[in-house]
A and B are shown apart, each in its own frame.
Chain A
Amino acid sequence: MGRDAAKLAALKKNFEDAQAAAQTFVAPNQFAELAEENGAVGLNASTEEDSTQYFWSMPSNRLELWAYMESGRIAHPVAREFYKERDVVQEERRMRTDSNPIGAMVEQFLAAAYTAHPYRVPTVGWESEISQVNATEAAAFHAKYYVPANIVVAVVGDVKAADAMPMLTKYFGAIPAGPKPEPMATVEPVQFAEKSVVIRETTQPFYLEGYHKPDYRDPDDSVYDAITDIFSNGRTSRLYKALVRDQKIAADAEGFSGFPGEKFPGLFAFYGEPVPGHTPDEMREAIHKEIERLKTSDVTDQELAMFKTRARASLLRGLADNQGLAAQLAEYQTRYGDWRELFRKLDEIDRVSKTDVRRVANKIFVESNRTSARIEFTPPAQAAGQDAGGAK
């Protein structure tokens, strides 16, 4: 038993020397710098449950430079300063989850809603996993998933396909091939009892609930979009009218499909943000009343018409934004194997009927399929002990 202080110091010194030596081979951030010098804007990446994305915009005369750089970092990544970046990810977790009441609530909510499927795991990772993942594991993940068979590239802008395609083929074709990763085998078991999370802290109240639903390939996919629109889109939406305008209990309330993802069966979620003096229980009750109405009576012709017109307008308006359109095309190609599905979706939307909406509502909005999470405001312990009346 015991520690050899001298030996530890020597090892520490060796380690630091090795780090310093490694540092001489590093030009930090050079990739991003090169992009920025060449006029890149919106350079970023996102990691989501269903996919990761790398995106930026460049002046059109830099198309080839972009193809060289983007294909290069996919084909031959070098995780320089991996462990420093890992520390940065821990800060990100502290910022978005640990120090953010709603972030923390959402994490607990998903962990409760899912028993087996990886949708229960936060994309940023649990603290102990961030602090233990190593560069070798990260490289293995990259090698397995970042293979051409698993990647879609989309370019939108002032380019001609005839010029761009040979260029893209040259650079992205050089990425080493690999087998498409095996599909996810885990299937979330059917939920048979309501689950709930109650957080008591000195934070303003909030209510969130979700119901398991099928993935994006379900024939009723557009019906869920209709319910989202009817429940949440603007001041004509049911939740706004009921909770915000008429009952005056919420500042904001919505229902939306596909949380936290759509590739696998996600949740149809609802939330309500109480105005001062009102409680998560009131949110829950009011939301359930609206759900019950959807299950027992038809939506109006006008509601359905609004949904369809807005879906078309929203698709068309999206065409004006190059980066947004590129993201959509890549997403549809990834999901359906054909980007044209983005436009065919409108036909599917046009076919949604009142009967569909009622049928789907009755299928998934049932108690045993529900998970809820709430924040109950609790005054700080000291304040409560001293003077319950003084706490705010």
Chain B
Amino acid sequence: MKSARMEAGMKMQGMRMRTFLAQGIAVCVLLAPGAGAMGQNAAQTAPPAKTATKTPAQAQPWTKIAIPPLHDFKPEQPKRIELANGLVIFLQEDHELPFIDGSVRIRGGSREEPAGKVGLVSMYGAAWRTSGSAAKSGDELDAELAVKAASIETGGELAYTSVEWGSFQQDFDSVFGEAVDLLLHPAFKAEKLAMAQREMATGIARRNDDPGDIAERESAKLVYGAESPYARQAEYATVNAVTLDDLKAWHDRGVVPNNMIVSVVGDFDPAAMEAKLRNAFEPLARGAAMETAKIDIPAPKQGVYFVDKEDVDQSNVQIVGIGTERSNPDYYALSVMNEVFSGGFGSRVFQYVRTKLGLAYDVGGSYGADYDHPGVFRSEAGTKSATTVAATQAVLEEIGRLKTKPPTPEELKKAKDDVMNSFIFRYDTPEKTLNEQVTLAFYGYPPDFLEKYRDGIARVTAADVTRVANKYIDVSKLAILVVGNKTQINPPLTALGKVTELDITIPPPPAGAGQ
């Protein structure tokens, strides 16, 4: 549980992940045919070696390696049970290891919290568990669970809150009992709310230390609007405004059975487990289901935005706009477009900005798709101050080419192969299969969405990709955000257009707040 901040710092020393992309395997003629993207890059710097791009198959020994068919693999789907009071249960057996893990997901999250109390759901998630239940304080629970190497945790997210637990199989009854007690009889305590508030305040005080954090936060505000529940941030004032009564009220509103999905995975007998869960949850009376907030998505902000950070020597460049939802019939074609544009090492933006131009270590993007609201279409690059404009222009060029340069047959095949051949990793553990079903049920998607996705991807044509690129991509509607050191950025950002400087000064706590 090292903090993200410490983790990031240690990573630079202790665990330096990186990719060795320039290294290739030693095949004397590595000039690949079937490499439209590569051919295109080479063509820009030098006349392409025509003969080489027609390399005969024997120059690619890997094509001779037999790839046997993958044996039939049908993951066992979880059992779904719906109680009369509306509570939905998913059970997934997994007898490989002697553990049982479970979770309760409760509709309603930070996007539903009031604007004047941003941070409420996050602090609710923290203080719920640390406060404990009426029968057992959080500190007592900590000690009891630690001896069993078990856990019960609560949390608050954008769209839901949750209770999750896990233990050795033989400790299930006692740990599940405590988890249910915490769910039904919490005892929110002032000192634990204060602790959650201190933690929030620490995050607020430190939020401008790391340029990557600033870039992510400010770019989301450009996409959704600064006050949007999808982008807004907690301030000292909104954190201090949250009271114990707010936590209790939130809890009473959310914890009704028709608002919850319970899922359990692990080493259990399904009939016995079903009986235990029915016994725990059937007595609950149906209540008013939490309404999902209606959130307007404004027209995207355009223009060039800048945050000055004088203690860095690199610019974080974000180019952002509105993405899509997974329920969009164009989702499959957009997924393939996304793969061509930014899906990994062979993608256009990576090949161009990192490999060809060497302008960034960290370059990438995604045409984001969320379940029940539009995601963010984001392209980003980290580049030395002096090449800020060049890197930004390079990414913009590549975005523009999505419309003018349809995927070649090779690009299309590669994009689809990437998705199809790695598909198995989406359900290679029972836990993943279970979580997929919980998420689909939570957002009201059909249970066979993943299978449909695979079929949908298989049907996408180059014409589809071009059509969606023209329908959804509009470079003039994107916002450009640069977090960097103004004195080092040369040529200046004005080369990209009129620059609006953003003030990220942290509003101080209200007087007398005692922070």
Contacts and interface: CB of A to CB of B under 8 A. Distances in A.
B142 A45 contact: no
A273 B5 contact: yes
A79 B21 CA distance: 9
Contacts of A103: 8-9, 11-12
Interface in B21-55: 21-27, 30-32, 35, 38, 41-42, 45-49, 52
What's the interface size class on A, roughly?
35 or more
B506 interface: yes
Contacts of B506: 392
Contacts of B287: none
Contacts of B355: 28-29, 81, 84
Contacts of B476: none
Given A31-B24, A251-B202, A95 B362 contact: yes
Given A32-B346, A39-B421, A310-B149, A24 B13 contact: no
Given A46-B15, A276-B515, A39 B382 contact: no
Nearest to A303: B146
Nearest to B55: A27
Contact of A234 (B16, B142, B424, B515): B142
Interface string A211-238: 0000000000000000000001111100
Q: Interface centre among B205, B506, B508, B515, by most A CB within 10 Å?
A: B205
Interface in B55-88: 61-62, 65-71
Interface stretch (B93-101, B110-118, B447-455, B490-498): B93-101
Given A29-B351, A88-B360, A92-B18, A309 B148 contact: yes
Contacts of A48: 14-16
A78 B23 CA distance: 6
B350 A47 contact: no
Q: Which 8 A-B pairs have the closest CB atoms?
A: A76-B26, A39-B421, A102-B9, A32-B345, A313-B149, A33-B346, A72-B25, A84-B358
16 contacts: A28-B41, A28-B356, A33-B414, A48-B15, A65-B62, A73-B24, A76-B25, A79-B23, A81-B22, A96-B11, A123-B13, A124-B16, A244-B195, A251-B198, A273-B6, A306-B146
Interface of B: 1-3, 5-6, 8-27, 30-32, 35, 38, 41-42, 45-49, 52, 61-62, 65-71, 96-99, 130, 138-139, 142-143, 146-149, 151, 168, 194-195, 198-199, 201-203, 205-206, 209-212, 309-314, 343-346, 350-351, 354-356, 358-362, 382-384, 413-414, 417-418, 420-425, 429, 505-506, 508, 515
Interface of A: 19-21, 23-34, 36-41, 43-49, 54, 57, 59-62, 64-65, 68-69, 72-73, 75-85, 87-92, 94-103, 105-107, 110, 122-124, 201-204, 206, 232-236, 244-245, 248, 251-252, 254, 256, 259-261, 271, 273-277, 302, 305-306, 309-310, 312-314, 316-317, 319-320, 380, 392
